[in-house]
A and B are shown apart, each in its own frame.
Chain A
Amino acid sequence: MTAAPDFLPVLPEMFLGASGMVLLIVGAYAGARAIRAVTWLAVLALAATAAILLYPAWTAGVTRQVSLFGMFVTDGLGVFTQTLVIIGSLLSLLIAMRFNEREGIARFEFPVLVLIATAGMMMMIAANDLIALYLGLELQSLALYVLAAFARDDVRSTEAGLKYFVLGAVASGMLLFGASMVYGFAGTTSFDGLAKLFAGGGAAGVGLITGIVFISVGLAFKVSAVPFHMWTPDVYEGAPTPVTAFFSIAPKIAALTLFLRVMLQPFGGLFGDWQQIIWAISVASMAWGAFAAIAQRNIKRLMAYSSIGHVGYALIGLAAGTAAGVRGVLVYIAIYLFMNVGTFAGILCMRRNGKMVEGIDDLAGLSRTHPALALALAIFMFSLAGIPPLAGFFGKLYVFMAAIDAGLPVLAVIGVLTSVVGAYYYLRIVKLMYFDEAQGAFDRPFGGEVAAVLLVCAVAILFFIAWPGPLLNGADAVAATLFPG
């Protein structure tokens, strides 16, 4: 006798998916008139989802709870990162609105696709089974493929969408293949079952290790870690800028969380086997992200390499494999979210004579033409470079702390050295804005939403140092729950 499952724990995901469908119908009937209304409703839906997610956590605290026949899990890690994903999607929607209108690509499907992708990401984060993981991942990915090609009359955007689709499909295939091997050798797809199987730290067979390697490859592709990063610069450059902003934030947070969960929970007992994989891709990502970015002249490609590098830093925390490491990753992605949204909000302001400009040289002399925008971008650049007293420094601090604590000094040394290389290209943008002569102003106005997002992110990054407790302690508490005892 199977009782009706308890749907309460998955209420946020269900609400978000339902809102997406309702808005789809609204959009389909109301047509082009209602694009703005649909966007604002989507923003509202995201905010409401966050409220539904956080209200029980606020009143009753978060205890680990498995629901839907072991498919989904609600825990601190999930609530923490789902909140970040929602914030990322919400801010991306806000900065996208005016841009899409100006570019003539405003369609009501945009917010709907973002909602569906977000629902997929939340499912990924909450997955407690390899099948649930795959479902969430695909829901997210399919929506993202369409988003990448959203400027459908633009060759570059279409190319980006196709590229992303083909390569993404290969990666999904790898992940699925790995999952099937794990199932074949372990006999279960449940995370809890797998965790129990490996709990003793018993030796895993070659078949299982192969399966884990394939799963890691699929996940590394999704977080765009070297050597599975090749799609990132092209897709980032080709996709419409607000979509790029969205890509660089929400899916990345979701995929990193998934990486954490898969590696630490079902395969936690095999830490010794997979640590070297993470170690290697972390080093490769940091190094390649830093060196390849130096040669970039397009700001979106530059941000693509920057995000590759940042994934490398975040993976240091996973390579540490400790509570401190998880804490480092969580702090890192939370801060990264605000730095990146802010930077992309700034990039969206780069329009001259009604057309988007994307060369980093177009930023020359920005401090003369738009002092406030230049200041905000400078704050983000110094923060991305990890210079104190800005928030980006604390992100790096906590992952390096984890690396030192876990006895990985070599990884930490490589990390700080590549961060110096990385500082070079962030500084170059500051140099362009502050040291060089003005190129001519950007089109005004930037739009109230973009300005508001810029302000919020800049203030958050600048004054994080004054009140870091909530984020750090929250991440600490979440990380502790993953490592009981």
Chain B
Amino acid sequence: MSPSDQHSTALDLPPHMRPERSFQGLILALQRFWADYGCVVLQPYDMEVGAGTFHPATTLRALGHKPWRAAYVQPSRRPGDGRYGENPNRLQHYYQFQVLLKPSPPDLQDLYLKSLAAIGVDAALHDVRFVEDDWESPTLGAWGLGWECWCDGMEVSQFTYFQQVCGIECSPVAGELTYGLERLAMYVQGVDNVYDLNFNGRDGDERISYGDVFLQAEQEYSRHNFEHVNTDILFQHFKDAEAECQALLSAGARQMEEAGDGIHKVVLPAYDQCIKASHVFNLLDARGVISVTERQSYILRVRDLSKACGEAFLQTDAGGAVAKESQNA
């Protein structure tokens, strides 16, 4: 359970796995660190999301009283941040490494600092700071207090004590860490352009850069997001996802009534539709076809969905509900 003692430092690794020369090495080091702490290391959620927080392993599992520890990489899409591959720092698709610990352990700050050490950030050499940042996600009806974590003036992580998610008070409070992987990697690899990151830690012909993997995608998706995306279809998708989410929640509630066990039957699929609505909204927003006033109402509509999903989740096993003796049996 104690990761620091036996856990391998960056120096024990073969060169191609070291975080300071390999993007994937950095990811693997973080996974190893949090696996040693007892987290379930999950894989990315198989849907388009704006941030690692949307993964049900964070949003939904932050609710209810059951303890939970998870760590995972999540590709995150911010359509409006696309720069056609021309900006060295901004991407419309990037990776977050997400850790959720419920309840938040008393030594979470120390754990975070140890995880930095594990990827080669030496606190005797670098200026690590916790700078106030109140986190809020209007679409998730969520907020928390915490910090931006700075390393030599660069924001490398978000550190949040969740107070509310899906409009529901967190009880107990979960601690969330979000590492900006590209930024961290650029820092430890000492490169100025994200596309120059060494992805696989190899040299010469074997070297694969971040640009080799993602540059074309950034260009194409920027065109897609800003020029080609069919907004009529998106508006329809939004409506469909919203209706489907509500319909699934009703169906699950109906089945709960029939079973009489107090356990909601269709929460996770409903939440997928909430995620979808949120992403479609981001795309529409990036296209600039949503006015300021409409924008607020779209945000509220997604929030209503996430709230309904969160409330339903509390009526499931993972949400901490215990099935009542079935009265219909």
Do A and B belong to a common assembly?
A: no
Residues of B participating in the A interface, judged by any CB pair closer than 8 Å: none
Residues of A participating in the B interface, judged by any CB pair closer than 8 Å: none
